[in-house]
């Protein structure tokens, strides 16, 4: 019966390793844990235990099957296979648990299949943290792998090869079969209709505590399985007819007249997409004071869209929303699916077909997160990237910093002979690890934003002096907001507050636009001003249309937020619960948000 005991020890060790990592996670993020309180942290450990058991069950499945087979065949081969398996299991779990500690600080959610969107460019992904942090994490992975493997090897594997064959006795194999069935039940989360899922361990109105209860190994496995599902079967909240009706209700009233804000039908266009510069750091938007004085001043000189919502939290998803009018999706990025994006239409592709010369400038690697594939598929003909700068200019871990790239953009405008043109520029320096030559604030992120803002201010001042200014529309907006202040909930509406500013000699109207809107509405708004059909962009709406239906939408891993003038809802799809709500019509808004997400995945399935 020793085999049965060893299976139980396998399970107990894997369970112990998972349970031990939860206090480590809570201590790693001590400021948030302290704010949550001792009872809250204890609740995370308690409620997360059932998911730890499920993760331990999955890891125990193969050893249990090997033990069953070994009852009929004797040999050292079982010990060798178990050694290899134990090492691989220890390494994989360490490679999930340890990076998750640091990634949560940046992402605000536990590690999942999202990481595979960036793993094909490890150097760029590692640039988000310092070299010392990377070294420490690698050392911790090695140490935790060794501890797990050494413990399993010492307590179990070294003794397996000496086990006798059960022969004709069937008692031990029967016990092992019963134990395997019990392991399967544990993996499933019980014998009820509901199976184990991430939302199962949610227990608090503080999302941080819910995240602390999640086992990252199970979360990774669950998200991988979810990401391989048929898109047409994901996020099905209601009958198709009901979802279509709710989605159609968001479209602009057809009889309303547009507000013409441009002097010309074909101005030259320059988009400056500001990395991580959300509304929380823009004083003109009620954000931190003195961080972005240049943009705050410029917002008083142009057409300023004050109530824009960033559709997501990552650059690749933000680019799809801004350029293609295609809202971001939970747990996936449309840009990672070239077979899908090639069927999208966008501002660059539509304008290219209307005679615009299109280009893109970024100081970093445009291959990262499959962005280059998206740009090329959208008919952007000229791409300037990190390899187009001298090595001496690659001063940031991500590439060339903003004080190098803004002047390059200015030079390209001066030298451009093909009109009309569209130039898209994505800044870089306000990305982690925020390495900038600016030290006014104690917070590195604020220093990076202030530095980028100063580069923007200098760029606009010099651009105004050029003759190109007269027929130019300059659009400034963030790709997404940042998790600032750090105590802000990652899924809160405040986390996704953004803005958009139109400037330039081609603009004939200035002032504030206070309508509730979102990044994905920008594309249709600009096309309408240019007198171009907006129907190829079904999720984008003309903000300046008199019949515009105010609505903002953003998403986060397995959830979304929806915003109107009077109501706000934040919904978690894992637990199928409202994280927060405000206003008198939240039930109706929740239904609209669900319909919007459902129709979005209908569209993805059909691409």
147 is a domain residue: yes
How far apart CA 210 and CA 149 sit, in angstroms, is 29
- Which of 182, 207, 227 is at the close of a domain? 227
The residue ranking higher by pLDDT, 186 or 206, is: 186
How much is the pLDDT for 223? Answer: 77
- Which of 205, 227, 249 is at the close of a domain? 227
Q: Are 174 and 274 within one domain?
A: no
How far apart CA 506 and CA 338 sit, in angstroms, is 35
- Which residue has 């998911």 as its token pair? 51
Q: Are 25 and 146 within one domain?
A: yes
pLDDT tens figures, 430-483? 998 898 999 999 999 999 999 999 999 999 999 999 999 999 999 999 999 888
- Phi-psi group of 482: left, alpha or beta (phi > 0 → left; psi -120 to 50 → alpha; rest → beta): beta
169 is a domain residue: yes
- For position 414, which CATH number holds? 3.40.720.10
292 is a domain residue: yes
How far apart CA 517 and CA 526 sit, in angstroms, is 14
232 is a domain residue: no
Q: Are 175 and 296 within one domain?
A: no
Q: Are 223 and 276 within one domain?
A: no
215 is a domain residue: yes
Residue 168 has pLDDT above 60, yes or no: no
Q: Are 349 and 401 within one domain?
A: yes
pLDDT band at 91 (very low <50, low <70, confident <90, very high): very high
Residue 605 has pLDDT above 70, yes or no: yes
> Which range marks the domain in which residue 211 is found?
2-227
Q: Are 290 and 169 within one domain?
A: no
Q: Are 276 and 412 within one domain?
A: yes
How much is the pLDDT for 125? Answer: 66
- Which of 227, 250, 268 is at the close of a domain? 227
Residue 76 has pLDDT above 80, yes or no: no
User: H helices within 108-157, ranges in order?
Assistant: 122-126, 131-152
Q: Are 13 and 62 within one domain?
A: yes
CA distances from 600 to 93, 178, 236, 597 (A): 34, 45, 11, 5
pLDDT tens figures, 362-376? 999 888 878 888 998
Give the chain's domain count: 2
pTM score:
0.81
473 is a domain residue: yes
Q: Are 476 and 368 within one domain?
A: yes
**Across the chain, what does the average pLDDT equal?**
90
342 is a domain residue: yes
- Would you give the DSSP letter of residue 291? S
Neighbours of 409 (CB within 10 A): 21
252 is a domain residue: no
Q: Do 453 and 294 touch, CB atoms closer than 8 A?
A: yes
Q: Are 215 and 344 within one domain?
A: no
Q: What percent of the chain has pLDDT over 70?
A: 94
User: H helices within 484-564, ranges in order?
Assistant: 522-529
Q: Are 283 and 206 within one domain?
A: no
pLDDT tens figures, 290-346? 999 999 999 999 999 999 999 999 999 999 999 999 999 998 889 888 778 889 999
Dihedral angle of Cα 71, 74, 79, 80, to the nearest 10 degrees: -130
Q: Are 218 and 333 within one domain?
A: no
Q: Provide the greatest CA pair distance for the chain.
A: 94
């Amino acid at each position: 019966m020793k085999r049965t005991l060893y299976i139980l020890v396998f399970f107990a060790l894997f369970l112990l390793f998972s349970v031990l990592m939860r206090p480590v996670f809570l201590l790693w993020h001590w400021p948030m844990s302290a704010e949550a309180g001792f009872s809250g942290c204890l609740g995370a450990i308690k409620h997360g235990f059932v998911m730890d058991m499920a993760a331990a069950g999955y890891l125990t499945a193969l050893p249990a099957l090997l033990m069953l087979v070994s009852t009929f065949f004797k040999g050292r081969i079982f010990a060798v296979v178990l050694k290899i398996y134990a090492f691989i299991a220890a390494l994989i779990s360490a490679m999930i648990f340890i990076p998750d500690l640091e990634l949560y600080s940046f992402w605000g959610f536990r590690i999942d299949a999202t990481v595979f969107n960036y793993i094909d460019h490890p150097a760029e992904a590692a640039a988000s943290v310092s070299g010392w942090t990377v070294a420490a994490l690698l050392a911790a992975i090695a140490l935790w792998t060794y501890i797990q493997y050494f413990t399993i090897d010492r307590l179990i594997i070294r003794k397996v090869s000496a086990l006798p064959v059960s022969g004709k006795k069937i008692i031990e194999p029967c016990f092992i079969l019963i134990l395997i069935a019990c392991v399967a039940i544990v993996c499933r989360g019980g014998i009820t209709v509901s199976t184990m899922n991430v939302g199962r361990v949610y227990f608090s109105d503080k999302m941080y505590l819910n995240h602390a209860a999640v086992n990252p190994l199970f979360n990774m496995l669950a998200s991988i399985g979810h990401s391989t599902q048929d898109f047409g079967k994901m996020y099905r909240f209601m009958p198709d007819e009901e979802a279509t009706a709710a989605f159609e209700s968001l479209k602009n009233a057809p009889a309303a007249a547009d507000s013409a804000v441009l002097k010309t039908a074909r101005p030259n266009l320059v988009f400056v997409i500001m990395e991580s510069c959300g509304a929380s750091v823009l004083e003109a938007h009620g954000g931190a004071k003195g961080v972005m004085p240049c943009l705050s001043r410029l917002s008083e000189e142009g057409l300023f869209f004050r109530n824009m919502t960033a559709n997501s939290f990552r650059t690749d998803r933000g680019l799809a929303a801004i350029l293609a009018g295609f809202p971001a999706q939970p747990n996936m990025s449309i840009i990672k699916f070239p077979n899908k994006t090639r069927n999208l239409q966008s501002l660059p592709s539509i304008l290219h077909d209307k005679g615009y010369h299109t280009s893109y400038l970024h100081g970093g690697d445009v291959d990262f997160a499959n962005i280059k594939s998206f740009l090329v598929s959208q008919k952007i003909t000229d791409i300037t990237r990190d390899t187009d700068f001298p090595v001496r200019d690659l001063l940031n871990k991500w590439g060339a910093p903003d004080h190098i790239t803004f002047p390059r953009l200015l030079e390209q405008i001066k030298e451009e002979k093909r009109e009309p043109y569209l130039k898209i520029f994505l800044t870089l320096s306000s990305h982690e690890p925020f390495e900038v030559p600016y030290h006014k604030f104690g917070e590195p992120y604020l220093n990076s934003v202030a530095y980028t803002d100063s580069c923007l201010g200098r760029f606009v001042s010099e651009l105004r002096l050029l003759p190109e200014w007269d027929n130019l529309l300059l659009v400034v907006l963030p790709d997404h907001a940042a998790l600032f202040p750090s105590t802000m909930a990652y899924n809160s509406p405040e986390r996704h507050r953004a803005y958009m500013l139109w400037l330039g000699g081609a603009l004939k109207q200035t002032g504030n636009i206070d309508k509730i809107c979102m990044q994905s509405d920008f594309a249709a708004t600009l096309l309408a001003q240019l007198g171009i059909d907006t129907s190829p962009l079904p999720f984008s709406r003309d903000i300046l249309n008199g019949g515009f239906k105010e609505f903002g939408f953003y998403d986060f891993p397995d959830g979304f937020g929806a915003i109107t003038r009077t109501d706000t809802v934040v919904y978690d799809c894992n637990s199928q619960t409202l994280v927060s709500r405000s206003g008198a019509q939240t039930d109706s808004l929740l239904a609209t948000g669900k319909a919007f997400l459902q129709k979005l995945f209908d569209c993805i399935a059909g691409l």
